[in-house]
């Protein structure tokens, strides 16, 4: 600690703290907006009935796997654009945008077909007939939204690659407000529209995603910020080799994200095996952890942008300082959150539920979640840093090891063999995060040694 607070040491990192925060905050606000929309969906659909709410939860549980993979694929564009931006090659940035659009749209069509087939398998997933009936139409509406969502994500990740996170924030927040308003109108049949129930929630999502794509396309055409990229974009030809390059960077990111989502989904299922109170407590703690996680996601995005820019400029000294400046902020923020989780463990759960058994289980989980915070922040930030170096295959393997081979088995063994219950499942999560964050840091140190 003394070494960090020495003036000469601190001065090396100081120039990177504020710029990184400026890049991160718009991403955080966008994430917060998405969470508010999810909360609004739950509240409004919950007013219709339990079977409708179960149908939305069930359909989203299937849909999220494809959506997360498409997000991961789009994430692969940022380090490619960011490196060209750092090298001062604006024409190449526009080139990557066109290749990214082709790659993501082709993938979107394939994904829609695959997920359409999966939709037919709903009848064999052990759900009640009424839930399946409501879920199918809602799910099919969401499938159509994949196309505009992928277009939006490509422009969003391109903008981040050229160090602009504000435009995506503005577009996302406006779309979120539109989504909530449309939810109310279409779900309950207001302003002369028919009452569509959960299908209304699906149409609201579809319309808001079309809006997001359309507004970002308009921004690219009209805003002066994109002027130099727009000039080149129309003349750029599609190159199959570069489309494949986008896919090669994006696919491992999508795979890494799926590993994490799958592990948490399986953990939720296992919580249900323990008891409904354990499942309720798990959802409460996971919701709180998701809120604090948003800042880490924002800093991870900032890390990808800054590291890819310095990588393109071949400025490896500032690359290291920028990366570790972000790590400093993540540690400070998540340690603070972890301490708050532990100190307020008997208070915060009561905001969500008035059930002493659920509150008791949640208060125990929050002790583990307090430590979990630190390593969760570290692992997502190291992933962002490595993504900036276009290092995606090794992190994908590390994610598979830490989540599928370590976290899941430990969760099961601790919960059901050692009879630790809900605490056992979160012990598995924590174990996977610790191993993953350490391996990712080792990977960065090894990779950086090649450049310095």
pLDDT in tens, 260-272: 999 998 888 888 8
User: Between 122 and 345, whose confidence is greater?
Assistant: 345
Last residue of a domain, one of 185, 209, 238: 238
User: What is the spatial distance between Cα 222 and Cα 55, in angstroms, rounded to a whole number?
Assistant: 41
The verdict on 219 and 256 lying in the same domain is no
Decide if pLDDT at 2 tops 70: no
Q: Name the average pLDDT for the chain.
A: 90
Same domain, 84 and 200: yes
Q: Is the four-CA dihedral 123, 126, 127, 129 of positive or negative sign?
A: positive
139 and 233, same domain (yes or no) = yes
Q: Please state the domain count of the chain.
A: 2
pLDDT per position as a tens digit, 283-314 = 888 888 888 888 899 999 999 999 999 999 99
Q: Is residue 227, in this structure, part of any structural domain at all?
A: yes
| Nearest-angstrom CA–CA distance, 137 and 231 | 42
CA nearest 97: which of 241, 202, 232? 232
* CA 133 from centroid of its chain's CA atoms: 29
In tens, the pLDDT along 27-63 reads: 888 888 887 787 777 778 878 887 787 788 788 888 8
The pLDDT score that the predictor gives to residue 120 is 84
Residue 149 lies inside a defined structural domain of this protein: yes
With residue 411 as reference, give the H or E element that holds it. helix 408-412
Rounded to a whole number of angstroms, the distance between the first and last alpha carbons of the chain is 25
Q: What is the pLDDT of residue 265?
A: 85
Instruction: Assess whether 185 and 278 both reside in one domain.
Output: no
Taking the C-alpha atoms of residue 382 and residue 388, their distance in angstroms, rounded to an integer, is 10
Phi and psi angles of residue 195, each rounded to the nearest 5 degrees, phi first: -80, 110
Q: What is the pLDDT of residues 402-429, one digit of tens each?
A: 999 999 999 999 999 999 999 999 999 9
Is 327 among the domain residues? yes
| DSSP letter string, 401-426 | IIIIIIIHHHHHIIIIIS--THHHHH
Q: Looking up tokens 């939860």, which residue turns up?
A: 57
The mean pLDDT value for 140-161 works out to 95
Asked whether residue 367 is domain-assigned, the answer is yes
């Amino acid at each position: 600690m003394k070494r960090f607070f020495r003036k000469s040491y601190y001065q090396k990192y100081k120039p990177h703290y504020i710029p990184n925060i400026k890049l991160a905050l718009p991403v955080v606000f966008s994430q917060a907006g998405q969470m508010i929309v999810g909360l609004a969906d739950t509240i409004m659909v919950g007013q219709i009935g339990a079977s409708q709410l179960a149908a939305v939860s069930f359909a989203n549980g299937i849909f999220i796997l494809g959506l997360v993979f498409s997000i991961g694929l789009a994430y692969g564009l940022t380090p490619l654009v960011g490196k060209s931006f750092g090298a001062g090659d604006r024409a190449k940035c526009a080139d990557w945008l066109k290749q990214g659009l082709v790659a993501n749209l082709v993938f979107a069509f394939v994904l829609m077909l695959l997920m359409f087939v999966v939709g037919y398998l709903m009848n064999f997933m052990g759900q009640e007939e009424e839930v399946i009936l409501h879920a199918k139409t809602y799910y099919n509406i969401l499938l159509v939204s994949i196309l505009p969502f992928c277009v939006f994500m490509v422009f969003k990740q391109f903008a981040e690659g050229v160090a602009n996170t504000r435009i995506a924030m503005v577009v996302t927040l406006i779309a979120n407000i539109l989504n909530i308003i449309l939810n109310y109108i279409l779900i309950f049949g207001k302003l002369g529209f028919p009452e569509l129930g959960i299908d209304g929630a699906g149409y609201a999502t579809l319309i808001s995603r079309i809006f997001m794509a359309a507004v970002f396309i308009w921004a690219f055409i009209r805003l002066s910020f994109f002027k130099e990229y727009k000039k080149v974009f129309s003349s750029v030809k599609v190159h199959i080799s570069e489309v494949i390059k986008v896919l090669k960077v994006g696919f491992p990111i999508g795979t890494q994200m799926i590993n994490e989502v799958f592990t948490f989904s399986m953990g939720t299922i296992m919580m249900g095996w323990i008891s409904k109170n354990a499942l309720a407590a798990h959802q409460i703690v996971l919701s709180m952890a998701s809120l604090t996680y948003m800042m880490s996601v924002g800093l991870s995005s900032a890390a990808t942008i800054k590291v890819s820019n310095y990588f393109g400029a071949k400025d490896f000294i500032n690359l290291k300082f920028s990366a570790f400046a972000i790590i400093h902020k993540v540690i400070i923020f998540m340690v603070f959150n972890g301490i708050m989780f532990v100190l307020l463990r008997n208070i915060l759960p009561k905001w969500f539920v008035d059930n002493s058994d659920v509150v008791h289980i949640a208060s125990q989980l929050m002790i583990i979640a307090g430590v979990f915070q630190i390593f969760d922040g570290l692992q997502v930030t190291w992933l962002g840093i490595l993504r900036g170096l276009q290092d995606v295959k090794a992190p994908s393997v590390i994610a598979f090891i830490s989540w599928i081979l370590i976290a899941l088995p430990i969760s099961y063994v601790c919960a059901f063999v050692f009879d630790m219950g809900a605490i056992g499942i979160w012990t598995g999560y924590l174990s996977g995060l610790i191993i993953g964050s350490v391996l990712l840091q080792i990977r960065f140190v090894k990779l950086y040694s090649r450049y310095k």
